[in-house]
């Protein structure tokens, strides 16, 4: 494993730490609700810890002889931490827990790279960072409550998610009134049979009265 690979792994950790620091400070400024005071202080302690760590990680990259990324565009490109944020206090806590957990994965990869190279100084730094982020995850999840699981944290961390609306339950009356859709077979069976056609009866000819003769019967006497 080369020093360049270690420096690249550290650059990713640096970017993650910087983006998470900004996000944590954002939540520190904007958290509201009944737990404002405790969360305001918790977020402050965490972003201050990250601020100190960012400087130490950046200096370690320079000690290895490589360029340290230092622009926002570089940090956003290299980081696995999203800028997306939450408005509600529980969402903020869940989001930070998920982000710290992601960074632990990156730290483990950087630790392995340093171990393969025999870079004890970087190994020591990564071990301390793993401890710091592991503690942050524990404190944030404990704040959410004992019932919070890793799946709950990942789900709650979505940005500005809309609450699901409960569908109205169907009443027994409504269910009974709903008839199954008619099939072609049932429609055919239900079709009434046409009445048999009847031949029209021939009209009766009217009876004609017998003609009465106007001529007198018998011989008429001549005078």
CB 139 within 8 A of CB 42: yes
- Give CA–CA dist 21/16, Å, rounded: 8
pLDDT along the chain (223 residues), means of 10: 92 98 97 95 97 97 96 96 91 96 96 95 98 97 71 44 44 45 48 53 52 48 41
Whole-angstrom CA distances from 153 to 131, 141, 174 are: 20, 8, 39
Q: Which residue has the tokens 């956003």?
A: 76
**Rg of the chain in Å (alpha carbons):** 46
- Classify 3-156 by CATH class: mainly alpha
Question: What is the token pair recorded at 50?
Answer: 């990250």
Quote the pLDDT of residue 85: 86
Domain extent listing, the chain:
3-156
Rounded to two decimals, the pTM is: 0.66
Quote the pLDDT of residue 156: 47
Quote the pLDDT of residue 19: 97
- Give CA–CA dist 35/22, Å, rounded: 21
Rounded to the nearest 5°, which phi and psi values hold at 211?
-70, 135
């Amino acid at each position: 494993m080369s020093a360049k690979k270690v420096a690249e792994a550290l650059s990713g950790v640096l970017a993650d730490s910087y983006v998470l620091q900004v996000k944590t400070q954002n939540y520190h400024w904007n958290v509201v609700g009944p737990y404002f005071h405790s969360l305001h202080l918790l977020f402050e302690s965490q972003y201050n810890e990250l601020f100190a760590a960012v400087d130490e990680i950046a200096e370690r990259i320079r000690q290895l002889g490589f360029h340290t990324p230092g622009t926002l565009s570089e940090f956003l490109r290299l980081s696995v931490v999203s800028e997306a944020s939450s408005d509600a206090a529980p969402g903020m806590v869940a989001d930070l827990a998920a982000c710290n957990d992601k960074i632990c994965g990156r730290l483990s990869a950087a630790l392995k790279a340093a171990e393969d190279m025999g870079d004890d100084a970087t190994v020591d730094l990564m071990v301390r960072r793993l401890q710091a982020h592991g503690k942050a995850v524990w404190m944030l999840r404990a704040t959410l409550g004992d019932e919070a699981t890793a799946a709950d944290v990942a789900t709650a961390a979505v940005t500005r998610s809309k609450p699901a609306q409960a569908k109205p339950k169907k009443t027994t009356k409504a269910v009974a009134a709903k008839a199954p859709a008619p099939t072609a077979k049932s429609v055919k069976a239900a079709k009434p049979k046409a009445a048999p056609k009847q031949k029209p009866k021939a009209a009766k000819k009217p009876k004609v009265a017998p003609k009465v003769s106007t001529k007198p019967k018998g011989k008429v006497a001549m005078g």
